[in-house]
């Protein structure tokens, strides 16, 4: 039996809003989901530069504990070698597919040894708002993902691009299989501007300009000391 977690989400459908607790029983991080092979190769090179091995195939699906998911505004990480990355997320709830945004926060030092272990070590912040997938399906490739970090006292744009750079949900689910009730999946990320690096605060958003909608979230990263 899997260990579930209950998170409160705002379900936004047009002008209607409702907040409900959702029981999430399974969490999946989809990796190497770039649609543009050149851009994905760039991201692979970014990770190779910090010691991460190339994937055996693309895409890959990493299982993580559902209890790693959080809608909170702060996370605690052991050491200072972790960083966030904005991704779209998919959630099957009430028999429907919903879209949101999250950060696949990852321990980069451990990632150079084992990607699956690095994924499991860190909490995964998720924005507490969702859209029905059907409301964005016909213009999916126009959705915008952005993230910011804080360095040297300034807010710096860290990632920016459209979901056209990543495999769309239909293709992702063809590769993975059925997204069962209570399953949340991270859909992949974009290359970082200036290289992958840590930050004490991470901000991210998913923007639907056609419908004038935005899902945004931010969290502080509290570093715990490593004592040996």
User: pLDDT per residue over 78-98, tens digit each?
Assistant: 999 999 999 999 999 999 999
Determine what percent of the chain is predicted with pLDDT higher than 70: 99
Q: What is the pLDDT of residue 36?
A: 77
Choose between 29 and 40: higher pLDDT.
Answer: 29
34: confidence class by pLDDT, cuts 50, 70, 90? confident
21: confidence class by pLDDT, cuts 50, 70, 90? very high
Q: What is the pLDDT of residue 161?
A: 96
Q: How far apart are CA 41 and CA 191, in angstroms?
A: 10
Domain presence at residue 200 = yes
Domain presence at residue 140 = yes
Contact (Cβ atoms closer than 8 angstroms) between residue 201 and residue 223: no
CATH number of the domain where residue 137 is located: 3.90.850.10
Domain presence at residue 3 = no
Domain presence at residue 90 = yes
Number of domains in the chain: 1
* 119 three-class SS: helix
Q: How far apart are CA 185 and CA 26, in angstroms?
A: 8
Determine what percent of the chain is predicted with pLDDT higher than 90: 79
For the chain, how many residues are written?
A: 228
Domain presence at residue 7 = no
Average pLDDT, stretch 212-220? Answer: 98
- Angle formed at CA 53 by CA 66 and CA 100, multiple of 5 degrees: 35
Residue among 77, 178, 170, 79 nearest 124 (CA): 77
Strand 124-125 with 5-13, pairing: unpaired
Look up residue 20 and give its two tokens: 């409900």
Choose between 191 and 89: higher pLDDT.
Answer: 89
- 107-153: pLDDT as tens digits: 988 988 888 899 999 999 999 999 999 999 999 999 999 999 999 99
Q: How far apart are CA 21 and CA 33, in angstroms?
A: 29
CA torsion angle 104 69 79 34 (round to 10)? -10
Choose between 173 and 48: higher pLDDT.
Answer: 173
* Sequence-distant (≥ 6) Cβ neighbours of residue 38 within 8 angstroms: none
Taking the alpha carbons of 97, 105, 221, 158 in that order, is the dihedral positive or negative? Answer: negative
Q: What is the pLDDT of residue 29?
A: 97
Q: Which domain holds residue 207?
A: 21-224
Q: What is the pLDDT of residue 70?
A: 98
Q: What is the pLDDT of residue 1?
A: 56
* Average pLDDT along the chain: 93
Domain presence at residue 8 = no
Domain presence at residue 219 = yes
Domain presence at residue 34 = yes
Q: How far apart are CA 117 and CA 110, in angstroms?
A: 7
Q: What is the pLDDT of residue 111?
A: 86
> What is 141-187 written as a DSSP string?
GG-EEEEEEEETTEEEEEEEEEGGGB--HHHHHHHH----TTEEEE-
Q: What is the pLDDT of residue 41?
A: 80
Average pLDDT, stretch 183-202? Answer: 95
């Amino acid at each position: 039996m899997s260990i579930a977690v209950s998170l409160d989400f705002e379900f936004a459908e047009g002008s209607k809003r409702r907040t409900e607790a959702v029981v999430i029983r399974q969490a999946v991080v989809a990796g190497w989901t770039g649609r543009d092979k050149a851009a994905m190769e760039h991201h692979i090179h970014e990770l190779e530069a910090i010691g991460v091995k190339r994937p055996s195939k693309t895409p890959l699906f990493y299982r993580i504990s559902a209890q790693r998911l959080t809608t909170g505004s702060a996370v605690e990480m052991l050491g200072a070698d972790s960083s966030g990355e904005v991704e779209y997320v998919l959630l099957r709830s009430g028999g429907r597919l919903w879209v949101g945004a999250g950060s696949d926060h990852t321990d980069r030092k451990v990632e150079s040894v084992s990607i699956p272990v690095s994924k499991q070590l860190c909490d995964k912040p998720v924005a507490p708002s969702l859209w029905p997938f059907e409301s964005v399906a016909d213009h999916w490739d126009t959705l915008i993902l952005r993230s910011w970090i804080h360095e040297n006292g300034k807010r710096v744009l860290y990632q920016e691009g459209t979901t056209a750079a990543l495999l769309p949900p239909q293709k992702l689910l063809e590769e993975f299989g059925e997204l069962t009730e209570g399953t949340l999946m991270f859909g992949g990320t974009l290359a970082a501007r200036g290289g992958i690096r840590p930050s004490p605060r991470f901000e991210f958003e998913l923007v639907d300009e056609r419908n004038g909608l935005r899902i945004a979230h931010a969290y502080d990263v509290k570093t715990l000391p490593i004592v040996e």
